[in-house]
A and B are shown apart, each in its own frame.
Chain A
Amino acid sequence: MTAKRSSPISTAILLVGAGYCLLPVLWVLIASSKSGTELFSTFTFAPSTHLFGNLADLTQYRGGLFWRWMANTALYAGAGGLLSTIVSAAAGYGLAKYSFAGKQGIFNVLLAGVLVPSVVLAVPQYLLLAKLGLTNTYWAVLLPSIISPYGIYLARIYAAAAVPDDVVEAARTDGAGDFRIFRSIASPLMAPGLVTVFLFQFVAIWNNFLLPYIMLGDDKLFPLTVGLSGLLNQGASQPSLYTSVITGSLLSILPLLALFLTLQRYWKVDLAAGAVKT
């Protein structure tokens, strides 16, 4: 049983990596316990006692606007992630389990969406949504977040790997329609993979900045990223609200941290499943 012997070097390298990744997060934790003056005057990693004061300040900012941002972000990421997962699952299943004219072409075009950076799309998207009168509404952020080339790509891989053809054929022989097979047979089989797609898109929307930044004028609709950036960029004649930004950053990471911890086993992102499972 030599393999069970632990290797201090391997463990040490892993811990160094973990330390590197935790360093800035640890810093936010400590910095959010400091008062505005201490932030710029005491040793960076010296904690202080103002965490609750900072939380209270942040909560009081414009009548609890921060928590509104938190709820908005949850809405954008939750609803957007969910709809995106459904759309991706259907598309991925269609691509993986059917052969039809134009299949490869459609897939290539959908995937090419990855190539176009969001900075490029932001203004045309704004101009088009403005024609529908949807800018500065929840829809302006929600609708463009639903389409995810990555999500479709992953869903196609999961459908190919998790839904055996003979199961589909058997159901069809029993007289089940295409949609019922997808809903009752394929979706449950794909479920663990779809949770990953959901998480993937949830995080992407949670972290999105530019789209909501362009689309929204009303700060009651802001997600966290845009709201916090506003606290930081107050213009030259106003001091930046550093303590509130830092405390807010900490709070904005916590929900994702909780999500990671509870759904850790779904973080299996198999980008090339077909190639290994022969």
Chain B
Amino acid sequence: MDMKRDYYEDVELFSSPVVVFWFIVLIGSLYLFPMFVDNYYVYVANYIAINIIVAAGLNLLVGFTGQISLGHAGFFAIGAYGTVILMIKAGFPFLLALPCAALVAAGFGFLLGLPALRLEGPYLAIATLGFGLTITQIIGRVELFGGRDGLHAPDLTIGPWVLDTDKEFYFLVITLTIFLLLFMRNLIKTRVGRAFIAIRDADIAAETMGVNIVFYKTLAFAISAFYAGIAGGMYAFVLKFIEPEIFTLLMSILFLAMVVVGGLGSMLGSVAGAVLLCWLDLKLRNILDIPYLGEWLKDLSENWFSITGVSNIQYIVFGSIMIAIMLFEPLGLYGIWIRMKKYWRTWPF
């Protein structure tokens, strides 16, 4: 009997033909889905996919490397503005402007990573929060960036194709999302990812095992910012118009909430968290559409929870979900998934 193990199994993406099958089904249905739904849901899908990219990038920083960022809306804004400005002012094609803008975001990520070497926990949170707020202030005051008036996204063409509907744009967004997720998954399974996790779990031991902490901590910031930058660049074309007020502190907090609700240190978790929170965010904006409870929720929200009279029920729901997750399942949605898998494996015992 051959006792030699196949070591590739440990890092393999597809552990069995069944997984390959479901993966193909998933990818196939993602590409076919716009044919069967109306435009609004394609817009929702674009919005969710973009948030998945940010959540995955942020999870690398928070979940895998153990640092925190409350400034990801800043990187997101750099990506959005960078892409649009490179296209308008420098005449770059979209597929060149997008990675260039994301590289600028990564550069800022690297710079923010430098003070982060000496800061931890709440201090790092405040430093990154300051960054996020500053970026939008600066953008709002520079004429080149359209100031407070914002910027219109130019027409989006890739070679001979003009992507002027949500459906056409969807194929670009979903392709990029799939590749970025696969890249990150591979990264985490190999040497660099192990170094990130090692820094999170025991930084002193990682250092004495030869991991250059300065390099890997700043690298984590840069990669995370790059992902947020790519997402931001695409977001500009989902909205078709960007202004500084979009990239608020609340947006940074929602990104962080996606990562925490989905599950820190889990790729599937980032996807699940982004899907859940984005979907709830969009749904709860129109609370009157909710059957039976809609009217009542609107009254409740306007009379009791809001000081401005604007209904804000989505944040109350987010808050409740986050409290519930922290109390019952600190690993987030990913933790629930793991438990379900265990339950079915041993069912009916």
Do A and B pair up? The answer is no
Chain A residues proximal to chain B, CB less than 8 Å: none
